[in-house]
Chain A
Amino acid sequence: MRKKTSSILWLIFLLSLVSFFIALPKGFEKEIVFRGKVRKISFTRPDFNFNLGPFKIRKKLFLHKGLDLAGGVHLVFLAQMKELPEEGREVALASLRENIARRVNLFGVSESVVWVSKALNEHHLIVEIPGEIDPDQAVALLGQTAQLNFRLEAELPPEATMSATVYDLFSIETDLTGANLQKAEVRFDPNTSKPQVGLVFDDKGKELFGQLTENNVNKRMAIFLDNFLLSAPVVKEPIKDGQAVISGEFQLNQAKQMVSQLNAGALPVEIELIRQERVDPSLGADSINKGVKAGLIGVILVALFMIIFYRLLGFLAVLGLIIYTLLSLALYKLIPVTLTMSGVAGFLLSLGMAVDSNILIFERMKEEVRAGKPKLIAMELGFGRAWDSIRDANVCTLIICFVLFNPFNWSFLNTSGLIRGFAFTLGLGVILEMFTGIVVVRAIMRSFYKPKGEIKK
């Protein structure tokens, strides 16, 4: 028993150490004045790079901050697809997402996200761009409907070719637009089985495309999406049947991406801004400062309370609480969890709840001692008997967290980041709490809690 306990203790120690390492901020610098001298403390945590057999683990560890903490724009667009045929909607939506993501990338913010969320009977496209950007510009740029058009190569004088842009090069506009393109799809060359991009035109498109290809054999025809050059294949022969193929050295994912972009123009979806949230980064920084301050004071109060009320036992519980905090922070970085202010609240609430299992155990122990049992036996009994209550106490909270977090993205439940942030940190906290409250604190107590009158085994 002793041996087992001490190996669990070592494991916990190791786990805490790893968590501590992960939880550390990336870089840290602070000047402190000590005996009149200014000293600079600084340190940098190396990134999390190591090889585990054949796996190379490269992870940049940092706390992902939600919009309300980092500042930025959160936009919800309603995709209007009533005019599209039912079977084309899936494709249209995927293409819309792809195209909006491409536009979002123009802002060059690496942590931007774009996703589609199914509302009751509508589709929403949600865009989040953190950091300092011009929200009006973002709304204007993202809100446009995609425009696809075909252009022809102009004859440039030789001296101009050096400084010519793609817009100079393909300056001849045609009547052929995305409206004439029925769909684009990935195909495979029957001979080489290399991926290709197939284009299918409607009747009017077939006619226009036929004329254009007939007059421009061996010239390039460019396809622009929102004034952005997608492709400029060379016309090899006149195509009269409205079925064209762009071939080239495509990787499969490149072909897929181009198909999505072409479809964004072929199946244009009008989008309407129905929700926007903008937070200035300064306000986010202010929230973080306040949240951290509130959290620290709350935790110190909890720790003091536990130590004053339960003395040595309380101190051990606080040790468990510290390990709990380290594990939580490490998990937030590893999973990674996007932290919002409500997520911080969820974490703090779970922290307040975390000592519950300890309190339950300590109170049971007291009961057993009152009933005349030796303290050490009382401790083991306390842990055993409290388990039922601890499990019960947490089931309800987990049920609620499940409903609020909506892990399966059910369209009839909320998908709001604020609510999910809270539910996730609270739920994770409750699960972790069962681990630290029982396994960790028990191991610590078995090793360090040696009341008088111990029975020799």
Chain B
Amino acid sequence: MKFLKYNWLYLLVSGILLAVSVFSLVKWGLEPSVDFRGGNLWEISFEQPLDQEKWMGFIKEKPEVTETQKIGTGNWLIKSSHTDLETKNSWEKEIEEGFGVFKELRFESLSPSLGKELLIKTLVSIVLAILGILIYVSFRFANKSFGVCAILAMLHDSLILLGSFSLLGHFSGVEVGSLFVTAVLTILAFSVHDTVVVYDGIRKLTRAYPKASFEQVADLAITQTLVRSINNSMTIIFVLLALFLLGGETTRYFSLALLIGTVLGTYSSTFVAVPLLSLWEKVFRK
């Protein structure tokens, strides 16, 4: 199959996705979760149906509350800034008087200073992880072009993943916390490993057919690895899809991030990493 004939198409698709992602990231950024900014997260369930209008009115009176949202069948999520326990206890009383008995399912509270610390630690782990991957890639590919293109493909995946969560954050209030970062790092690894398999194919075939052009070798390598790449991703996508659709609330967006990342990683290893390499060959070899 002549995959590289449509190079312009792959680069166009990636270009559009990247442009949208960067636009969204610059314009709206990411919505940090309680993990990073500090604050309270409270999930309660009422024994009796709730008068939603009255509830919204009640919430509006509390300047600390940033958001309330119905999740699942009848649970309510209340997000607020970091408060002391007394404030929370007084709210509990007011809610019980105004809306009846309720049950606390989950309460998370984090001071802003700890949030800042977690953010710093997260940034450090991102830097370390990327450093580790860089060392590995440079060790694995003595040839500079392979290493650089693998890293570019990895950046492509992470930027679009960040961009999609920026859009999700802007339009449906999805927040990013430490679990999201975990997902991004996992995807970095996945993206590189998928690319390595394709590049390995190219290297071996270059040795086997020294006279063939780069395009011919690359097309053959893609043909040989594409089925494996897609099949492997399919199995990962199956479990992640099940987890996203049926799993609990805590890991819903975590599995979505992994899911988007897996699809991106699979796409980029063939349709970004290889075209980039061929571009590199064209620009630097002539």
Contacts and interface: CB of A to CB of B under 8 A. Distances in A.
Partners in one complex: yes
Interface of A: 68, 76, 78, 119-120, 122, 135-136, 139, 273-280, 282-283, 286-287, 290-291, 293-295, 297-299, 301-302, 305-306, 309, 341-342, 344-345, 348-349, 351-353, 355-356, 359-360, 363, 367, 388-389, 392-397, 399-400, 402-404, 406, 412-414, 416, 418-419, 422-423, 426
A419 B178 contact: yes
A353 to B, nearest CB: 6
Contacts of B85: 136, 139, 273
Nearest to A430: B189
Given A348-B240, A399-B129, 11 more contacts: A136-B89, A278-B104, A290-B248, A294-B247, A298-B239, A345-B254, A348-B242, A359-B228, A359-B232, A389-B200, A402-B132
Contact of A295 (B104, B125, B182, B243): B243
19 contacts: A120-B117, A274-B111, A274-B114, A275-B111, A277-B107, A286-B248, A291-B247, A295-B239, A301-B239, A348-B243, A349-B240, A356-B232, A393-B193, A397-B186, A399-B129, A399-B132, A400-B188, A404-B185, A418-B182
A395 B132 CA distance: 10
B106 interface: yes
Contact of A392 (B103, B105, B178, B200): B200
B138 interface: no
B197 A389 contact: yes
B109 A275 contact: yes
A349 B254 CA distance: 12
A135 B186 contact: no
A352 B231 contact: no
B142 interface: no
Nearest to A415: B121
Contacts of B193: 392-397
A280 B121 CA distance: 29
Given A277-B107, A363-B228, A400-B185, A356 B178 contact: no
B133 interface: yes
Nearest to B135: A399
A373 to B, nearest CB: 15
B124 to A, nearest CB: 5
B136 A396 contact: yes
B190 to A, nearest CB: 7
A215 to B, nearest CB: 44
Q: Could you tell me the dominant secondary structure of chain B's interface residues?
A: helix
Contacts of B167: none
A302 B246 contact: no
A291 B248 CA distance: 6
Interface of B: 43, 85, 89, 103-111, 113-114, 117-118, 120-122, 124-125, 128-129, 132-133, 136, 140, 178-179, 182, 185-186, 188-190, 192-194, 196-197, 200, 224-225, 227-228, 231-232, 234-243, 245-251, 254-255, 258
Nearest to B116: A120
B128 A403 contact: yes
Contacts of B235: 302, 305-306, 352-353, 355-356, 359
Identify which of B190, B200, B232, B255 gathers the most chain A CB atoms within 10 Å of its CB. B232
A419 B179 contact: yes
Contact of A418 (B178, B228, B240, B242): B178
A392 B196 contact: yes
B231 A359 contact: yes
A291 B255 CA distance: 12
Nearest to B111: A274
A317 to B, nearest CB: 10
Contacts of B114: 76, 78, 274-275
Contacts of A416: 118, 178
Contacts of A302: 235, 238-239
A122 B111 CA distance: 14
Contacts of A367: 224
B37 to A, nearest CB: 13
B239 A341 contact: no
Contacts of A294: 242-243, 245-247
B122 A414 contact: yes
Contacts of A360: 197, 228, 232
Contacts of A356: 232, 235
B243 A298 contact: yes
B109 A352 contact: no
A412 B128 CA distance: 11
Contacts of B246: 290, 293-294, 297
A397 B43 contact: no
Given A349-B240, A416-B118, A418-B179, A283 B255 contact: no
Contact of B258 (A68, A139, A290, A349): A349
A283 B240 contact: no
